[in-house]
Structure 1
Amino acid sequence: MIHRIYSNLNSFKELQFKRGLNLVLAQKSPGATDRQTRNGAGKSSIIDIINFLLGSNVPADSIFRSKKLELFTFGLEIDIKETKYTVERCGIRPNKIVLSSDENISSNFSFVKNSFFKEQTITNDNWKEFLGVVLFSLNQKSGISERYTPKYRSLISYFARREKEGGFFNPTRHSNFQSLGDEQINISFLLGIDWTISQKWQIVRTREKTLDELKKALKEGALGDVIGSVAELRTQVALSDSNINRINNNLADYKILPEYEQLDIEASLLTREIGELLDANSVDKDMLFDLTDAMNYEDHSIKANDINQLYTEAGVNLPNLVQKRIDEVIAFHESIIQNRKEYLQFEVLAAEQRIKKRTDIVNKKEKRKSELLKILLSHGAIEQYLNLQSELNKKEAENEFLHQKLHSAEQISGEKAELDIERRQLLLRLQQDFREQSSLVNEAIITFEKISRSLYENAGNLTISESMNGPQIDIFIPGQKSTGINKMQIFCFDMMLMVLNNERNIGPGFLIHDSHLFDGVDSRQIAKAIQLGEKLSREFNFQYIITMNDDDFPREYLSDFKFNDYLVPVELTDATEDGGLFGFRFE
């Protein structure tokens, strides 16, 4: 239990507590808003101080790092397992904890330098390790360094919830930032069921997250469009391997010819020259055809008898002189035709000789070209070889990436199948644990039902069930859609945890609720909750601290309840600048 909260800040209002119920009421000045009262009186700051002195982190925006408070030391007198300790901490040196006791501090911890000293200066991590072991029987270091195990700071936060962390929205979560795994592991621990099953579930979720990130990375890679099923990737890999083999075979058979380029130029030149010769032969052949036609035409010459016969048939007798003249003309004509034929024959012979000569040259050039092509086809140029090698390097890089993707896809597929199997195995293991731990599960259900029945005519239900995502805890109280009933779910859940853990002799021995828990709650229910808290804290020997505004305190429903016996002797008010817990207002 907590005995005292103090500070070397002169204006700080020291708080004294006792076992059982403790009420811290803050006076609200007329016209002040809830925000002004809460900021001015410092009710929620009481929980901040307790968490600060019990090892919480101290971020840059913490009030203990503010200019007004960072130089001052805050202290806490607290019973930890029948031993009274005093712990002090300062905002400017948040990693330094001064721990003292009326008895010698246990030397079972590595950080304890000398067990004969009643005061030790330790680190905050050492302090959390100490509290985790002593309050919750955690293994040393498990509350700090190991992953997915019950953590001291997470466990203690269920007994000192903070509104600014989102501690009053969900019974099973002490913070909006708490992960599902942390929630399941720590709640399982507090209920006494096997928390290692929740640990395994968180490992599965982490592996699934890694797989999802790997899938995303693969899809965003250089060959992202190729990623798909394992079967699709196998097809791509097979085709890529075949292409690589083909290029490798081409390179293996490749024969480099140093003079390849010169021979290639010569072959091209021969091709051009052969083409020109064939074109010239084609022209001469066309000319031969024309010359032959001309020679055939010249064979049809005119005879003298043909002319005489023509005139005779016309009844005309030509004189001898005319006949003689005709014979002379025909003789002249025949001499011209003969000369023409001789010319044509000469041209034909010349064309045929040219064609033959060109044909001989073409045959020689074709033979040389054939030799060159044979050499060129069986060899290659260095440049072509280098291009082929460059293509191979590119294809091999793509092929390697495809193989990696296939390997990753096969891993993903196999890992996904393994994770599905692990989930089913964990579900069976959780069902078995619930059967084996049915007494603990039933005790939690019955305890919650008794507590809620004390507040409501229709008792609420706590269900602890198995799911494919780990243990699932659901709470139902009739009318739970209202804000007030939601807050009373948290009250009942916290009281259940307090009762169960006190019976198991673990936990801090105190429970703290500030005014945020009672926001929106009907005054009669607040009164019942206060009385129930007092009754349970007395029966189960724990400390229950409540902070709230005085005008929210339901006196009219507590006429038979001696609440004055439980008031903490401190005056907190927002009416004056120095009326709050620290003696000044924060901006």
Structure 2
Amino acid sequence: MKILKLTIKNSSKKVVREVEFEEIGLSVIYGNVSKPNDDKETSNSIGKTLFLKFVDYVFGANESSEIVKSDIHGWFLEAIVKHNNSTKNIKRILGNSDIEVDGEKYTLNEYKEKFQIERSLYSKQVFLKQKNSLIGNRSEASKDDYIALLKLLNLSTVSDKTNDYYKVQNDIKEITKLEKKFVTFFNGTEISEIEEKIFLLNKEIDEKEIKLQELEENISNLQISKEKQDLMDEYADKNYAIKLLQADYQKFRIEKKRLSRAVDELTDMDITSSEIKKLYDKAAFELPDLILRRLADVEKFHENVFLDRKKLIESKLSEIELRMTELEGKIYTLDIELHKIANVISENEVYKESISLYKDITDSLQNLKYEQGELSKFESLINERKDEEDKLAIKYTELKQTYNDNQDKIEEYRNFIYNLIPNIYTEDVNAYFSIILKNRHKRNRPLTVDLSLTGDTGEGVGEVRKILIDLLILKFNTLLELLIQDSSCFSGIDNRQVTNLIKLGHEIGLKEGKQYIISLNDYQLNKNDKTAVQLVKSRTKLKLDENDKLLGFNF
């Protein structure tokens, strides 16, 4: 994605600035200002950095309340961009998060998705202030800095493996934090000491569980004297006999209940002929004498059958009750005998000692397991950390293999930077670029990027090193089509080297078909380099000074 034109309009839609950019090579925002007396001072008050920030907004940057103050809320940024060989009209209203593309509204996230804008990558080619480290805006390069750099240098396989390695390192870091919190409950005891405590505790529990198992077997198969063994056999026989007697007793009890219910039902069914006659008299119905005689005969027959059945059931009941009484006596006698035998057996000293020891070990084991439960979470943390450390070793091996597989590319980048140096310094200066894979470590990040310059480099060598990395990415990356540098990126560098770096950026842009957009102060340009002066003059797209500030007023 490239920016071809940017128009700034005020809230009344009046054009304040309209700037067209070169599609390839250098485009300059020129500040016609004098060098500050204090090197720490800047001359950004005329609006160069603000303008580049507006350009950055076109590339999906979040709006900054420090830069976009309420004075310019409602102002318009209208841009023409080129994306996939097609031009698009972009409109962004300052103070409003929505963006229009060819008249269609998008949220900022939708806008970035539409144009495949990955801001972490743009942070490696859009610089509105000096970098604080060789590859990023933080004093210590972050994981994101390394991942973005590797991706832009076509080292995606290394980037992926590095990212995997970082993830495991971060997991170990979080687990270690939890371990340290846990240690505070043990009055600052060292983790290694707690690990030792857990190990010994587990061993003690294992030993006691084995001892308990042996005791259970001994108690179950206790070797007692012949007399005691006979008692055990007698106890088992009598115990079995009493269970049989109790079963018989229950059967008789159920049968007794059934027969008693049958007697009660027969009693309820008994009715005489005289009672039947009374029922008819009560109903004022006179029965013939023949009927009365037949009722008497039926009554006599029924009485004989009824009484016979009742006597039979009652006889069975008496027999069952007698048997139940006998069984109760036998059960009672056996029960007494069983208790006596049980008392004798329980008095066996070996048995009693085994039971006592079993109880002591059980109580001790219970206390140990409680302590084990308290330590189990910490033990799981330790095991999880060790698993992650094993995984880290595997990830390091994978990263190292991938790193070694890409040495040809790294060597190409090293040679590229080495060959740039004669175009920057007239003196004998050498450069060595390296991406270094460090030894495996649980915390230290695996990669580091270094660029050393040796020889008479003069002032600002640190900033030169940073810009060389920017030019390296501009040359070789296939994901972004521009490099933006604010004039502050050149602060502290001799203007001869500044001018040479700008010429190199322009040449790379032309060769690779990319944009190189910078802001530059007048004093930063080497006026003795006529070629460079002419280049900057021909490529200046906006010129600002104290009397012609970007927005026309102090901001």
1:25 to 20, 27, 30: 30
Q: 1:34 to 1:12 in 2, by over 3 A?
A: farther
Q: 1:20 touches 1:538 (CA, 8 Å); kept in 2? A: yes
1:13 corresponds to: 17
Q: 2:436 touches 2:449 (CA, 8 Å); kept in 1? A: yes
Deviation of 1:156 (Å): 0.8
- Distance, in Å, in 1 between the alignment partners of 2:42 and 2:149 is 33
Pair 1:217-2:188 in alignment? no
2:120 to 154, 165, 170: 154
- Distance, in Å, in 1 between the alignment partners of 2:44 and 2:32 is 13
Q: Which amino acid aligns with 2:43?
A: R
- Distance, in Å, in 2 between the alignment partners of 1:240 and 1:430 is 42
SS of 1:233's equivalent in the other structure is helix
**TM-score normalised according to structure 2 size:** 0.62
Post-superposition CA distance 1:24-68 (Å, at most 9, x none):
211226978778763421111122112222222234x3322x111
- Distance, in Å, in 2 between the alignment partners of 1:176 and 1:454 is 29
SS of 1:415's equivalent in the other structure is helix
Q: How does 1:182-331 map to 2 (within 5 A)?
A: 182-193=144-155, 194=157, 195-221=159-185, 228-235=193-200
1:530 corresponds to: 502
1:253 corresponds to: none
1:425 to 394, 415, 426: 394
Q: 1:534 touches 1:544 (CA, 8 Å); kept in 2? A: yes
Deviation of 1:192 (Å): 1.5
1:97 corresponds to: 99
Q: 2:91 touches 2:99 (CA, 8 Å); kept in 1? A: yes
- Distance, in Å, in 2 between the alignment partners of 1:523 and 1:13 is 29
Aligned residues: 387
2:491 to 484, 500, 519: 519
2:410 corresponds to: 441
Deviation of 1:424 (Å): 2.8
Q: 2:526 touches 2:533 (CA, 8 Å); kept in 1? A: no
Q: 1:404 to 1:556 in 2, by over 3 A?
A: farther
- Distance, in Å, in 2 between the alignment partners of 1:242 and 1:423 is 35
- Distance, in Å, in 2 between the alignment partners of 1:564 and 1:196 is 40
- Distance, in Å, in 2 between the alignment partners of 1:17 and 1:223 is 66
2:480 corresponds to: 508
Deviation of 1:516 (Å): 1.2
CA RMSD across the alignment: 3.4
- Distance, in Å, in 1 between the alignment partners of 2:168 and 2:458 is 36
Q: How does 1:166-177 map to 2 (within 5 A)?
A: 167-173=130-136, 175-176=137-138
Q: 2:161 touches 2:398 (CA, 8 Å); kept in 1? A: yes
Pair 1:80-2:65 in alignment? no
1:557 corresponds to: 529
SS of 1:585's equivalent in the other structure is coil
Q: Which amino acid aligns with 1:172?
A: I
Q: Which amino acid aligns with 1:98?
A: E
SS of 2:401's equivalent in the other structure is helix
1:497 corresponds to: 473
Pair 1:411-2:411 in alignment? no
Q: 1:560 to 1:399 in 2, by over 3 A?
A: closer
Q: 1:471 to 1:43 in 2, by over 3 A?
A: same
Q: Which runs of 5+ in 1 are unaligned?
A: 101-118, 136-151, 244-394
- Distance, in Å, in 2 between the alignment partners of 1:408 and 1:483 is 57
Q: Which amino acid aligns with 1:72?
A: W
Q: 1:483 to 1:77 in 2, by over 3 A?
A: farther
Q: Which amino acid aligns with 2:171?
A: R
Q: Which amino acid aligns with 1:568?
A: T
Deviation of 1:555 (Å): 1.4
Q: 1:488 to 1:406 in 2, by over 3 A?
A: same
Q: 1:237 to 1:57 in 2, by over 3 A?
A: farther
SS of 1:507's equivalent in the other structure is coil
Q: Which amino acid aligns with 2:154?
A: G
2:463 corresponds to: 487
Q: 1:452 to 1:80 in 2, by over 3 A?
A: farther
1:71 to 64, 74, 98: 74
Q: Which amino acid aligns with 1:12?
A: V
Deviation of 1:232 (Å): 1.4
Q: Which amino acid aligns with 2:18?
A: E
- Distance, in Å, in 2 between the alignment partners of 1:30 and 1:535 is 27
SS of 2:542's equivalent in the other structure is coil
Post-superposition CA distance 1:122-156 (Å, at most 9, x none):
11111222333xx6xxxxxxxxxxxxxxxx11101
- Distance, in Å, in 2 between the alignment partners of 1:74 and 1:561 is 30
Q: 2:28 touches 2:542 (CA, 8 Å); kept in 1? A: no
Deviation of 1:521 (Å): 0.8
